[in-house]
């Protein structure tokens, strides 16, 4: 029972630290943020911060890793052979995840947060999976798979920006409807 309590305390502290970093990123650049400021904002000691993360870069990378895990799970399922209805359901999950974490995504979608931005992460996650899918599902125009993958990745990136920036839940259904029509441009 004690390990469960410890796990909950660890999770709570890590949430506080991440929240503090996000608040600070709304106010100043990542480079100007110090571990002391993060700790102060999270209402923890610096040593507690260091118990969880060796530095602010690792903290930020951990936040990217959490998003990457979500995107990998969803995109692996998305590029399965389950059909367009299933893909639209998963696309909706991605957009709702972005809506639920809009502040995080707005910050990570900016070019001001090192060591990488969300576009780079999308490219790393989506492109290989999309390319593999396109090997078995050629588009009706005979376009290069890399080109089609770039179009898909760009559309997804723009959709994520829109949802994170505008935070209108009704936009999700409209975006999904548009995505379905765009997909029909490439496939029968």
pLDDT tens across 24-81, in order?
998 888 899 999 999 999 999 999 999 999 999 999 999 989 888 988 888 888 887 7
Residue 83 clears pLDDT 80, i.e. is over it: no
DSSP line for 136-179: HS--TT---HHHHHHHHHHHHHHHHHHHHHH--HHHHHHHHHHH
Spatial contact of 105 and 164, defined as CB atoms under 8 Å apart: yes
For 90-115, write each residue's pLDDT tens digit. Answer: 888 889 989 998 888 888 887 667 66
Among the listed residues 117, 81, 73, 74, the one whose alpha carbon sits nearest the alpha carbon of residue 95 = 74
Instruction: Enter the pTM of the model.
Output: 0.78
pLDDT at 1: 44
Spatial contact of 28 and 49, defined as CB atoms under 8 Å apart: no
């Amino acid at each position: 029972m004690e390990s469960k309590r410890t796990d909950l305390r660890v999770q709570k502290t890590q949430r506080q630290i991440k929240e503090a970093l996000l608040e600070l990123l709304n106010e100043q650049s990542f480079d100007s943020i110090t571990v002391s400021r993060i700790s102060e904002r999270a209402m923890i000691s610096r040593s507690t911060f260091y118990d969880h993360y060796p530095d602010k870069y690792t903290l930020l990378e951990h936040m990217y890793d959490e998003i990457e895990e979500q995107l990998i799970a969803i995109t692996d399922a998305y590029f399965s052979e389950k059909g367009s209805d299933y893909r639209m359901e998963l696309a909706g999950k991605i957009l709702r995840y972005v809506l639920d974490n809009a502040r995080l995504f707005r910050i990570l979608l900016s070019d001001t947060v090192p060591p990488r931005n969300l576009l780079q992460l999308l490219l790393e996650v989506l492109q290989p999976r999309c390319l593999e899918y396109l090997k078995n599902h050629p588009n009706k125009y005979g376009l290069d798979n890399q080109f089609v993958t770039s179009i898909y990745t760009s559309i997804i990136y723009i959709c994520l920006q829109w949802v994170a920036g505008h935070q209108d839940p009704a936009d999700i259904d409209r975006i999904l409807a548009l995505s379905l029509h765009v997909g029909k441009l490439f496939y029968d």
